Chains A and B, each alone.
Chain A
């Protein structure tokens, strides 16, 4: 506690603060805002400005001359365009798979399972969230390795596992972010009032119809909220791709591979996921998903 002159400095300061709410607010906000704006936004701003710089091709030194060459290259180089499209497709596929897998699980934990067992089931969904990201990717590296569990399970059918590559990447990312989709869906489904479902049944709707016309519209904002995580986490990932992706390149890998030799180009490439994620957020804002985050 900062001291002031007087017999009870702390008490006097408290009295001063009590009379002056603006001063209290300023004291509360100064440190965290300095940290977040100067340190974080400042760094980001420098990074984005550096996307307009170039690199000396001989020395790899950054040349601070304004140019839009990097963005020009980004838009015209076929490889870059391919990787961007592939990354967006992977992020969308992972999101769709997560939603597809999460819905029955969440429906079970929220509405079908015996109510007393529900908190335990939610904890069971939460536990893998705490398990290390790397360990989970490692688990899939083991499963998909040559002669691993996937090969062993598919052998009786005369098939082999997918090995390392693009399918492995989609599979692993789906596994990683699945709980982020199950949890919001569980919460939304648990909050659907029984009365609505009864009313729908009383009016003659079969379960399928009730699901489509009553349940689905009510949980859609939560699914959209979950998709923010599944989408943006997949889009930025480069570690999983390095571990199980084989030769697959996503936008994160492209950024990573440019950092040492061409930081301005890496910065320009880094704006792509940021722009895509902002566009995605704007697109789903209408569902009300952002209020559910």
Chain B
């Protein structure tokens, strides 16, 4: 569309404003972590790195971070297995109820987290507790895995749809066993999709708060739960500020990795 000069300038301004709206709050979080004052008044009276060292030695934060990492790794591992199995079934076979499967896998993130949360909570309470298994890290992992399956599934199924099954058939016609064909042909084709899915699943689990609230046992506190608990406590404000700033800075890593991984899938690459 040939746009006039005014239209171009208007659009550029609107886009610049849009990006400002997206980034100003994140920048504020970064700046606020250097605020010597405990209150969040604006403008900050000065800058200090003091709270960063305080936060680094906060045992609550360290513990919560470790719990989050364990939950994320566990949920990602389960989601990788279940999501990949489903993706192969849906992309490589035709069967009754195939569309239902694709729908079923989206449901845990399509429905409000609170509904998923209380459903799992009451199910765990009625089924697991009589067996002597209370809510704890295990139930958090199970809950997270349920909605992480979809991101692994989406990534792998998209990859499989783009690469026809004929590669595997060709390998088998050339004498490779099913296992050999999988190891040498299929797996390298889906490897980067698996990585991208795992990355997304971990990030999703790491950030989740609602389902966690309802599936975590009394002693289990993930990082989001810790932030939520401490957000309204004035005494903890500086540490919350630093943790928030760290999370903003860390969010660059998955974007960078995802870009690298999708570059791997570009037509010009080796695969």
Contact = CB atoms under 8 A, between A and B. Distances in A.
Contact of A138 (B7, B104, B145, B227): B227
B21 A101 contact: yes
B1 A201 contact: yes
A128 B251 CA distance: 7
Interface stretch (B9-17, B55-63, B185-193): B9-17
B112 A236 contact: yes
Contact of B123 (A37, A43, A135): A43
Q: Which among B93, B119, B259 has the highest number of chain A CB atoms within 10 Å?
A: B119
A18 B178 contact: yes
Given A139-B25, A152-B43, A47 B114 contact: no
A239 B1 contact: no
Contacts, number: 250
Interface in B224-271: 224, 227-228, 231, 240, 244, 247-248, 251-252, 254-255, 258-259
A21 interface: yes
A44 B123 CA distance: 8
A36 interface: yes
Contact of A135 (B86, B244, B254): B244
Nearest to A211: B1
A66 interface: no
B209 A133 contact: yes
Interface in B1-51: 1-4, 7-8, 11-12, 14-15, 18-19, 21-23, 25-26, 28-29, 32, 39-43
B110 interface: yes
B167 interface: no
A105 to B, nearest CB: 4
A131 B114 contact: no
A73 interface: no
A52 B146 CA distance: 26
Given A138-B244, A277-B110, A11 B179 contact: yes
Contacts of B89: 25, 28-29, 32
B142 interface: yes
Contact of A43 (B15, B43, B120, B203): B120
B179 A14 contact: yes
A138 B29 contact: yes
Contacts of B209: 133-134, 239
A40 B146 contact: yes
Contacts of B177: 11, 14-15
B25 A143 contact: yes
Contact of B231 (A33, A41, A138, A152): A138
Contact of A109 (B8, B15, B112): B15
Tell me the interface secondary structure of chain A in the complex: helix
Contacts of A125: 22
Contact of B111 (A102, A263, A274): A274
A290 to B, nearest CB: 10
Contacts of B88: 28
A124 B255 CA distance: 9
Interface in B199-232: 203, 206-207, 209-210, 224, 227-228, 231
Contacts of A270: 112, 114-115, 118
A142 B142 CA distance: 34
Q: Which among A119, A139, A243 has the highest number of chain B CB atoms within 10 Å?
A: A139
Interface string A36-63: 1101111110110010000000000000
Given A37-B104, A149-B42, A127 B252 contact: yes
A132 interface: yes
B82 A31 contact: yes
B42 A18 contact: no
Interface stretch (A76-84, A219-227, A252-260): A252-260
Given A136-B25, A266-B118, A270-B115, 19 more contacts: A18-B172, A25-B95, A36-B105, A36-B108, A39-B123, A40-B107, A40-B120, A40-B146, A41-B104, A47-B118, A102-B18, A123-B255, A132-B207, A139-B26, A142-B28, A148-B40, A201-B1, A228-B110, A277-B110
Interface of A: 10-11, 14-15, 17-18, 21, 24-25, 28-29, 31-33, 35-37, 39-44, 46-47, 50, 101-102, 104-105, 107-109, 111-113, 119, 123-128, 130-136, 138-143, 145, 147-149, 151-152, 175, 178-179, 182, 197, 200-201, 207, 210-211, 215, 228, 232, 235-239, 243, 252, 255-256, 259, 263, 266-267, 270, 273-274, 277, 293
